[in-house]
Amino acid sequence: MRLYTGCGGNKLLADDLLVGLDIGSTKVCAVIGEINEHGAVDIIGVGESASEGLRRGVVINIESTLRSVTSAIEAAEMMSGREVHEVVTGIAGAHIEGINSRGVVAVTGKGREINEEDVQRVIEAAKAIVIPMDREVIHVIPQEFIVDDQGGIKDPIDMIGIRLESEVHIITGSVTSAQNVLKCVNRAGFKVQDIVLQSLASAEAVLSNSEKELGVLLVDLGGGTTDVLVYIDGAPYHTDVVAIGGDQVTNDLSIMLKTPGDFAEKIKLESGCCFMPLVDKDEEVIIPGVGGWPAASIPRSEVCNIIEPRMTEIFTMVKEQLARKDYLKFLRGGVVITGGGAKMAGVVELASEIFDVPARVGMPPRLGGLSDVYMSPAYSTGVGLVMYEAAQMKTDYRALKSMKRNSGGFGRKLRDWMKEFF
C-alpha cells in the first residue's frame, strides 16, 4: 500500500490495483481498477470467460473453474497492461443466508461518552449468535444504533448514554463453498484479499444512497441463481437467493423449441422478451436448423410465451420472500434489476407489474479509464467489487487515523474490526 495526496490535500490509502473477480455460473468476469490522483476509481481492464465449473453459484469442478478464472484475469491483464497478484472475489449461491440480530452493552467510557471500544463491544454482542458448524459469517453490517432507547442512530461515537444497542445484518454462507472458491483462485496463482457477497458488491455499483435510504429491492438475475437484497433506511435487512436463473430460461427454450442449448441461448439474447405487450404480433424469429433439417420461423410471441412464465415465477418467488418478512411496504425506492438477465426486453415492465412499484435496470456508473466497456448490467458485480474495495481502503485509512489516537493494542483491534465489518 502507499499513501498519497489527492485533490484538496486529502490523503488516501491505495493499492496499485483493485481487482474484482466475479465467479458466476455462466461466466467469470475480472475487472481491474485503480485509484487516480483525485481519489476516484478508474476501470482500466475487463476480462471475461465462460464458466464451466460452477452450478447455481457453487463450485462443482475445481480444475474447470481454475481455468475460467485464469482466462478471465489474463484477458483483463492484457487490456490493462498490468499484472494481477491479488483479487477481491465475490461469493453467491443458494447456501447464502441473511440474519438480523441485536446486541446490548453498558457504556463504560469516561463520563458515559460512547467511544470506539463500546461500538466494537456492542457489534461483537450482536454477532454472538449460534450458527451451524458448517456455516461461517461472511459479513456483519450495522443497521442502526440505539442509545438509551433513542433509535435511528448511524454513528453513536461521542454521544452520552448509559446503554448502547446495535442492530446488525449478519450474512452467513457454507464453509466448504467459500473454501472451494478460495482454492480455485489460489491454485490459479492469485491471492484473495477479501470475499464479498456478490449482491452486496452489485449494490455498491448500481444503487444510489437515496434509494438505500428510501428502501429498495435489488434483484441480481444471474445464470444459475437470482440474488436478492433489500435495503431499508440505508442498510441491508434481507439477503436471500432464489435457485433459478437465466440458465433455466435457456433450458425452457431448448426443450419447447426442440433446439440445442447454444441456439436457445442465442434466441434468448437476440429475440427474448418476458412481457407480452411489448411483442409485435407480426414479428418472426428464426430457429436454426439442426442435423440437416432446414431452419424454421416462428412468431416472437411464441418465444415470449415460453420465457414470460419462468421470469414471472422468479419475481413471484422473490415477492413471496419479502411478503413473509413484511418488507414489501418498505420499497419506496422501487426495484432495481441487474445481472446478465436484466438485459432481456420487458424485464422492467414485468417487475413493475408484479411488485407494483417503479422498476429500473441497474448498471455500473460511468467511471474513469475505459469508455463504456463495463457499462452493462452483466458487469455490475465485477465493478461493484472494485468499488467495494476502494471504499474499504478509505475506511481503513480513517481507522489508521483513529488508531493514532488510541493505544497500540486497541488500535490494532479497531483496524481489524473496521476491516471485518465495513
CATH of the domain at 125: 3.30.1490.110
Q: Which of 53-62, 81-90, 303-312 has the lowest mean pLDDT?
A: 53-62
Q: With CA atoms as reference, report the closest residue to 22 among 249, 340, 419, 237.
A: 340
- pLDDT confidence tier of residue 16, bands split at 50, 70 and 90: low
- pLDDT confidence tier of residue 55, bands split at 50, 70 and 90: confident
- Residue 163, in any domain of the structure: yes
Q: Check residue 416 and give its pLDDT.
A: 52
Whether the pLDDT of residue 306 is over 90: the answer is yes
The chain-wide mean pLDDT, for the chain, equals: 85
- Residue 153, in any domain of the structure: yes
Mean pLDDT of 394-409: 52
- Residue 165, in any domain of the structure: yes
C-alpha pair distances (Å), 120 with each of 81, 277, 378, 387: 41, 53, 37, 25
- Residue 166, in any domain of the structure: yes
Q: Check residue 9 and give its pLDDT.
A: 40
- Residue 202, in any domain of the structure: no
- By 3-state DSSP, what share of the chain in percent is helix, strand and coil, each rounded to 5? 40, 30, 25
- Residue 102, in any domain of the structure: yes
Contacts of residue 298, defined as CB under 8 A and 6 or more positions apart, other chains included, come to 257, 284, 285, 287
Contacts of residue 20, defined as CB under 8 A and 6 or more positions apart, other chains included, come to 30, 31, 33, 87, 88, 89, 90, 201, 381, 382, 383, 384, 385, 386, 388, 389
- Residue 256, in any domain of the structure: yes
- Residue 340, in any domain of the structure: no
19-28, 186-195, 283-292, 315-324 — most confident range = 315-324
| pLDDT tens for each residue of 326-338 | 999 999 999 999 9
Please give the grid coordinates belonging to residue 287.
430457429
Question: Domain limits at 110?
Answer: 97-175
Instruction: Read off the pTM.
Output: 0.86
| pLDDT tens for each residue of 221-234 | 988 889 999 999 99
Q: Check residue 399 and give its pLDDT.
A: 52
Number of domains within the chain: 2
The amino acid that residue 67 corresponds to is R
Angle value at C-alpha 337, between 331 and 341, nearest 5 degrees: 150
CA 131 distance to own-chain centroid: 23
Mean pLDDT of 228-252: 93
Cell numbers 404480433 correspond to what residue? 281
